[in-house]
Amino acid sequence: MIFLPIALYLEYFRPDAHTLIFFASCIAIIPLAGLMGRATEQIANRAGEGIGGLLNATFGNAAELIIAIVALRAGQIEIVKASLTGSIIGNVLLVLGASFLAGGLRYTIQEFNTITARAQAQMLLVSAIAVAIPGLFHAIRPVDANANEGTISLIIAALLIALYILSLIFALRTHKHLFAGAHDAASQAHADEQWSLRRALIILGVATVLIAWLSEILVGSVEEAATAIGMSKVFVGVIIVAVIGNAAEHSTAVIAAIRNRMDLSIGIALGSSTQIALFVAPLLVFLSYAIGKTPMNLSFTLGETFAILIGALITAHVTSDGHSNWFTGALLLALYSILAVGFFHVPG
């Protein structure tokens, strides 16, 4: 929390210290995103199962969304897409990998509900492919034929949002028994805490405003910081911004794994990735027409496309048999590192 005043101080009194500003605002966002998540949970717990699940699902990635909206308004489309990619692969490789590893160091084999995990992995796989298709079709299209890309992305965004609504009906209504374990575990995750509704709403509001403020600072310093430390903007988006935006999910999922609540752990990692692909990404496409400098499409770079597909594919495989162990976690983390190395060396 100490980094919040540091970031603000640097921004307004040391405006040339871009790299310091960038990292201070990055670190300052992490606890705020965590607070925001807990406030949402508190409100959701009060709202009853259906609406509560909806709130949790819809605002689960609120911190990422705020950062992305700020970047969108600043015309930093490349960073937005990179951070979407990073959120997807970060959740399924870094968060799930760390959960499997941390849990696996305590338990030889950890078990989880295959039917739920498979349903989530299917959702993730299809949404990853859906998000990847514009990029693939962009890559194979002749250079002079890009005129329609905006239209394609709008149609696909509409389809993804429709699928997101259907996924909520599926998970919260028609097949909620499949997700019962994860829901129960989620509502118990911080069951010791009880905030008043008023307190939860105030914390939510304050955290939102602060995250938005810090995001402005972060996005404003990203270009100079990237140049100063020799990283491409894609790397900053895919790895750094994404890690910050998902730090809260990350710690909750790892703690759940250490407590052998693998259904919750997997639910967070896969649910969060799926939500980025089905809800946050298409929402940003629509918002880009309203508030962005330039409209955003869904044509990710080939590197991002491969990373998304590989992440979803591996996840589908490692969650299909209902068992995890520390080595599977190490495999996922190694894959994440290798992708990070690849993105680090992609020119900006």
Which stretches of the chain bind its own copies, using CB under 8 A? 108, 114-115, 118-119, 121-123, 125-126, 129-130, 133-134, 136-137, 140-142, 145, 148-149, 151-152, 155-156, 159-160, 162-163, 166-167, 170, 174-175, 301-303, 306, 310, 313-314, 316-318, 320-321, 323, 325-328, 330-332, 334-335, 337-339, 341-342, 345-347
Nearer to its own copies, 94 or 203 (CB): 94
Nearer to its own copies, 184 or 321 (CB): 321
For the CB of residue 309, give the shortest distance to its own copies in the complex, in Å: 9
For the CB of residue 162, give the shortest distance to its own copies in the complex, in Å: 7
Residue 224 structure tokens: 């100079």
For the CB of residue 236, give the shortest distance to its own copies in the complex, in Å: 17
Q: CA-CA distance, 227 to 348, in Å (whole number)?
A: 9
Q: What are the phi and psi torsion angles at 16 (to 5°)?
A: -90, -10
Distance set, CA 64 to CA 29, 61, 86, 237 (Å): 10, 6, 11, 11
For the CB of residue 292, give the shortest distance to its own copies in the complex, in Å: 22
Q: Provide the b/e sequence for 62-88 (b: ≥16 CB within 10 Å).
A: bbbbbbbbbbbbbebbbbbbbbbbbbb
Q: With contact defined as beta carbons under 8 Å apart, do 134 and 300 qualify?
A: yes
For the CB of residue 84, give the shortest distance to its own copies in the complex, in Å: 17
Nearer to its own copies, 199 or 345 (CB): 345
For the CB of residue 136, give the shortest distance to its own copies in the complex, in Å: 5
Decide: residue 223, CB within 10 A, 0-12 exposed, 13-18 middle, 19+ buried: middle
Nearer to its own copies, 6 or 161 (CB): 161
Among candidate residues 15, 17, 9, the one with its CA nearest the CA of residue 229 = 17
Q: CA-CA distance, 64 to 83, in Å (whole number)?
A: 8
Decide: residue 262, CB within 10 A, 0-12 exposed, 13-18 middle, 19+ buried: buried
3-state secondary structure of 324: strand
- How does DSSP assign 221-271, residue by residue? HHHHHHHHHT--HHHIIIIIIHHHHTHHHHHHHHHHHHTT-HHHHHHHHHH
Please count the other Cβ atoms lying within 10 Å of the Cβ belonging to residue 132.
Answer: 22
For the CB of residue 269, give the shortest distance to its own copies in the complex, in Å: 17
For the CB of residue 20, give the shortest distance to its own copies in the complex, in Å: 26
3-state secondary structure of 212: helix
Q: CA-CA distance, 343 to 82, in Å (whole number)?
A: 10
Nearer to its own copies, 19 or 122 (CB): 122
Nearer to its own copies, 17 or 125 (CB): 125
For 312, which DSSP code?
H
Q: What are the phi and psi torsion angles at 284 (to 5°)?
A: -65, -35
For the CB of residue 299, give the shortest distance to its own copies in the complex, in Å: 11
Nearer to its own copies, 85 or 328 (CB): 328
Nearer to its own copies, 4 or 163 (CB): 163
Nearer to its own copies, 86 or 134 (CB): 134
Q: CA-CA distance, 3 to 236, in Å (whole number)?
A: 19
